[in-house]
Amino acid sequence: YMASPYVALQRLARDVQARDFAAVNARMDYDALRSSLSGQLAAALRAAAGGASSNSPLDRGGATAVRALADPLVERYVSPEA
């Protein structure tokens, strides 16, 4: 049970190395990957711009704007077709 993430990662790596894209696509949860990556990209962009996370309306608006920029990029490059 505790080894299952490692086994899954090993199998994914094997499929990537074998260029078995059908198997890779079957293993991937693209929606979860896009959501996670978009959030990480938005956080990195905010940090690079010197933004600190707070609950002020201005900061929330900036976070929304950054996410609006990050989401289409991630959507374009993280898909079975990419």
Q: What is the per-residue pLDDT for 64? A: 76
- Close Cβ partners of 77 (under 8 Å, ≥ 6 residues apart): none
In degrees, rounded to 5, the angle at the alpha carbon of residue 55 between the alpha carbons of residues 49 and 58 is 55
The mean pLDDT of the chain is 82
Q: Is 5 helix (H, G, I), strand (E, B) or coil?
A: helix
Q: With a cut of 70, say whether residue 34 has pLDDT above it.
A: yes
